[in-house]
Amino acid sequence: MENLLSVQNLTKRFGAVTANDNVDLDVRKGEIHCLFGENGAGKSTLSACLYGYYRADSGVIRFKGEIAELNSPADALRLGIGMVHQHFVLVTNFTVLENIIVGSPEVGMFLSKSAARRKVEDLCRRCGIQIDLDREIWELSVGEQQWVEILKALYFGAELLILDEPTAVLTPQQSDQLFAILDGMRRQGLSIILISHKLREVMQSDRVTILRKGRVVATVETSGTTAEAITALMVGHKVTKHVSDRSIEPGRDVLVVDRACALGEWGEDVLRDVTFSIASNEILGLAGVAGNGQKELFEVLMGVRTLSSGGFLLDGDAVAVPTSREMLDRGVGLVPDDRFREGLIPEFGTAENLVLGWQRKPEYRRGPFLDRRKLNALAERKIEEFRIVAASADLPVERLSGGNAQRVILAREFLHAGSLLLANQPTRGLDVAASEFVYEKILEKRAEGFAILLASEELDDLLRLCDRIAVIFKGRIVGIVRPEETTLLELGMMMAGDASNLDGHLNDLSSKALRQ
Amino acid sequence: MGWNVACYSAAMLCALFSTAALLHLSGGDVAKAFSSLVIGAFGSQKALLGSLAKATPLLLVGLGTVIAFRAKIWNIGQEGQVLAGAMCAYWASLWIGPLPYWMAFAVLVLAGLAGGGALGLLAGILKTRFGTSEIISTVMLNYIVIFLLAYLLDGGPWMESGVTVAYHQSPPVNTMLEWPTLFGQGSAKLHVGFLLALGATALSAVLLERTPLGYEIRAFGSNPTALRFRGTDISRLLLVVMLVSGALAGLAGAGELFGTSHRLRAETLLGIGSSGIVVAMVGGLRPSGAMLAALFFGALKSGAIYMRLQSGTPAGLVSAMEGLVLLFFLCAAVATRIQVTVRSEVHA
Ligand SMILES: Nc1ncnc2c1ncn2[C@@H]1O[C@H](COP(=O)(O)OP(=O)(O)OP(=O)(O)O)[C@@H](O)[C@H]1O
Ligand SMILES: [Mg+2]
């Protein structure tokens, strides 16, 4: 097969950091090529170089056999290299069709919508995308918005599509749909560069290029290898999967949530009679398809969303009107799912972000002033402990790689939380090794006596880590199960709102048991 | 660093050239105008004092603006806040009893702070209570205060009335309450407000960079949502910022009244607020930068008076120049940011 793209000796430095070090990469026509590597390995930087967003310091990029001069994304687009941004740049009150054709070179003087529509419909059919072209963007789910981004790139004539962690914000179902689309594109002879930390997805590609610390370690055919082998190549050693130590028994109740109800932005019910408790030395998992009230539940427990009725007890005390200040002071830690929106000050460095929420704590002050020296010392310790790759403690966190930014939050929460840790998708965007590192830390906290609420889309992880798993559907807890008595399938059914079936199923079982 | 200096120097030159072009087009003598401008600003001790005196209120307003804008809170009601500070201090001076001088002085300073602060706070409350954009409310409050002053001075209780004519100004303030002069006398003197402004510069810098409140102000400007999630009451913070920002503008107004003009008069106070915003922007939203910018614009305003006398250049030209400097400095600010990316690419 011919190479659509070939990169030789590409090097890209940021000051003292070498993000890409003599990288070689070939992408064939009609293949899904995965970039895999630890956080900060240089995957995003490499794709930004291919997309013309950064200029490589040295190296040659050939596209269709010819040397490509990529000085801007416009150059890349002209050649046929498209990119789907993780943060979409769609106009929300335009329709799907308008978003796709806006800015296209053909629009020019006469915008022939009907011709454009035919072309887009044709694209949809060939790639198996089903979408209503007349709906406005704000009506679409995140997954569908991503399709629009893809269609836009294809409409512009992209033959190589770069997707940087496209599934980080998708539910497993949406991610399956995305892969079906990518598969359709592959069969059309289009090539795809895909960045993902999820092994399940990596294994669906044709080839994988593994990066470590900016260098290419290997490029392998996916069919001839295993997930374990790829992981080992990536981190340079085997990753041990942690499991909960069942000999530690949960103790007294730390958090008791009693019939909590909350309303959303438009007065709709987002939480309905949510009732559960978490004890010390216990991890309660929260499983559910994204958008079923998980985020709102975390916000309520953090004191940033008001309850319409019901309440909760923390360490036996009713929390009357919770504020985020009170929750922090009571030792609650929160790892939010949207880290740059809810967890970090993008323009601040690691040092300042590590004390966000605790900036007034006497420990970090000298008289009325923030104790810079102490903050920097703290940052140095945490950068080492959590292996955060940052050029300095003052480098704005918006310039850190996604996974490293997440580590800053984790370092802060593990440092300050006292009894209850609320973790919403704490491993989102983390590489395999880093995820295990987080789980190891969470299990350590469990052993120390913390109560932990852990929401994750990785059901396997929930099953091996949690003491119990609560399943949320449409704002309601539809069941709380024990991992040793539950299968993936049952969890999946409950997440899809099939609790009644399951109940019926269980009733059947118990009545059978009674009859015997 | 070198690049920054280059950018801002280029901006300065561009502003100078375009002003020169304007002068030339309006038929003025460019060389004469510029030389009289410089002489008027720096040519003598008297000129220098005049420049510093003009810089004083600009610096105070500029600092207030820096604090608000760093939080991305768009307080643009400085005009009204300056007036409110002056009015509040004037009002206080009317009923102030026989106090020891330093106490009376302190009362006037506090009254100035309170007047401007209250107006800022009001806009803040409108925002936190009703979600009114501070951009709109502060501008609206400007008008209300301007018309209130017009009423008070034009037929209202504060009007100075001669035997046959009425002036749109108050009678002079009690000479016992005038602010102490540091240097100079007569029309060219520097009052103690200059020291207050310098002190405020140092305090603002320390506040923003070293204190938890400053941390919160900067964080608010970058990502208020995360700040709210992390235990800061952002409504309260917004009120504090509006209060401090308005108070500094109010102090500028009180200083002008008791240090320089000694009469409450709209014309002497109008324009300080908008120039103060320019000072903050040109100063790169840093207290130290605002200080340099205030000195520059103070000199410009002071020199302009002399320029007008000497070469008959229209006064409007100074406002035009102010605008041009702002424009080119904003361009320079963008250019310095571009450097960051250019450098990271060249740095191989
Ligand atoms: N604009 C920048 N300025 C300074 N350093 C940068 C910049 N962009 C990236 N880096 C650094 O380059 C390295 C590679 O970053 P990159 O974002 O490519 O990693 P990544 O492989 O995409 O990681 P992740 O899986 O966490 O997204 C990191 O150490 C990062 O801190
Ligand atoms: Mg990345």
Maximum pairwise Cα distance, chain A: 80
Q: Which atom of ligand 1 lies nearest, measured to the CA of A38?
A: 25
Backbone angles phi, psi at B197, to 5 degrees: -65, -40
Domain of residue B246 covers 54-299
CA B173 to mean position of chain CA atoms: 23
Q: Do A370 and B229 touch (CB under 8 A)?
A: no
CB-CB contact of B341 with A6 (8 Å): no
Query: What region, left, alpha or beta, does residue A389 occupy, with left being phi > 0 and alpha being psi -120 to 50 degrees?
Result: beta
CA distance B239 to chain A (A): 18
Residue A363 CA, ligand 2 centroid: distance in Å: 34
Task: Verify whether ligand 1 is closer than 6 Å to residue A389 (CB atom).
Answer: yes
DSSP state letter for B26: T
Task: Verify whether ligand 1 is closer than 6 Å to residue A401 (CB atom).
Answer: yes
Q: What pLDDT score was predicted for residue A502?
A: 47
CB-CB contact of A371 with A345 (8 Å): no
Residue A24 CA, ligand 1 centroid: distance in Å: 18
Nearest chain A residue to B231, by CA = A325
Is the model's pLDDT at A112 over the cut of 80? no
Q: Which atom of ligand 1 lies nearest, measured to the CA of A389?
A: 29
Q: What pLDDT score was predicted for residue B98?
A: 83
Backbone angles phi, psi at A255, to 5 degrees: -120, 125
Residue A346 CA, ligand 1 centroid: distance in Å: 15
The predicted complex's ipTM stands at 0.86
Distances (CA, A) of A328 to A333, A344, A453: 7, 16, 15
Q: Which residues of A touch B72 (CB under 8 A)?
A: none
Which pLDDT tens digits describe chain B residue by residue (348 residues)?
A: 677 788 888 888 898 889 888 888 887 788 888 888 888 888 888 889 999 999 999 999 999 999 999 999 999 999 999 999 999 999 999 988 788 889 999 999 999 999 999 999 999 999 999 999 999 999 999 999 999 999 998 878 888 776 566 678 888 888 888 898 888 777 678 999 999 999 999 999 999 999 999 999 999 999 999 999 999 999 999 999 999 999 999 999 999 999 999 999 888 999 999 999 999 998 989 999 999 999 999 998 888 888 888 877 777 777 888 788 888 888 887 887 665 544 443 332
* pLDDT tens readout for residues A365-413: 999 999 999 999 999 999 999 988 888 899 999 988 888 999 999 999 9
Closest CA to B255 of B11, B39, B55: B55
CB-CB contact of A345 with A356 (8 Å): yes
* Number of domains forming the structure of chain B: 1
**Within a domain: B175:** yes
Please name which ligand lies nearest the alpha carbon of A405: 1
Distances (CA, A) of A229 to A41, A197, A220: 18, 14, 10
A352 vs B215, B223, B344: nearest CB = B215
If one counts every other C-beta atom within 10 angstroms of the C-beta of residue B194, the result is 21
Q: Do A345 and B222 touch (CB under 8 A)?
A: yes
Q: What pLDDT score was predicted for residue B7?
A: 84
CB-CB contact of B279 with B160 (8 Å): no
CA distance A362 to chain B (A): 11
Distances (CA, A) of A4 to A26, A36, A80, A318, A449: 8, 20, 10, 63, 55
- Separation CA B307–CA B41 (nearest Å): 9
B229 vs A324, A329, A368: nearest CB = A324
**Within a domain: B281:** yes
- Separation CA A356–CA A348 (nearest Å): 10
Confidence band of A272 (pLDDT split at 50, 70, 90): very high
Confidence band of A24 (pLDDT split at 50, 70, 90): very high
**Within a domain: B257:** yes
If one counts every other C-beta atom within 10 angstroms of the C-beta of residue A156, the result is 18
Nearest C-alpha to atom 12 of ligand 1 is from which residue? A19
Is the model's pLDDT at A505 over the cut of 50? no
Which two three-digit tokens encode residue A19? 């993000």
DSSP state letter for A138: G
CA A379 to mean position of chain CA atoms: 24
- Separation CA A483–CA A479 (nearest Å): 12
Q: What pLDDT score was predicted for residue B132?
A: 93
For A510, residues 6+ apart whose C-beta sits below 8 A from its C-beta are none
Which superfamily, per CATH, for A3-235? P-loop containing nucleotide triphosphate hydrolases (3.40.50.300)
Would A3-235 and A243-331+418-516 be classified into the same CATH topology?
yes
Find out if CATH 3.40.50.300 is the number for domain A243-331+418-516.
yes
Residue A464 CA, ligand 2 centroid: distance in Å: 27
- Separation CA A50–CA A195 (nearest Å): 13
Q: Measured on CA atoms in the order A203, A204, A208, A213, is the torsion positive or negative? A: negative
* pLDDT tens readout for residues A405-438: 999 999 999 999 999 999 999 988 888 888 888 8
Sorted by where each begins, the domain ranges of chain A are 3-235, 243-331+418-516, 343-416
DSSP state letter for A223: G
Which pTM was predicted?
0.85
- Separation CA B78–CA A506 (nearest Å): 70
Task: Verify whether ligand 1 is closer than 6 Å to residue A427 (CB atom).
Answer: no
Q: Do B347 and A360 touch (CB under 8 A)?
A: no
Which two three-digit tokens encode residue B327? 């424009």
Q: What pLDDT score was predicted for residue B49?
A: 92
Q: What pLDDT score was predicted for residue A236?
A: 75
**Within a domain: B157:** yes
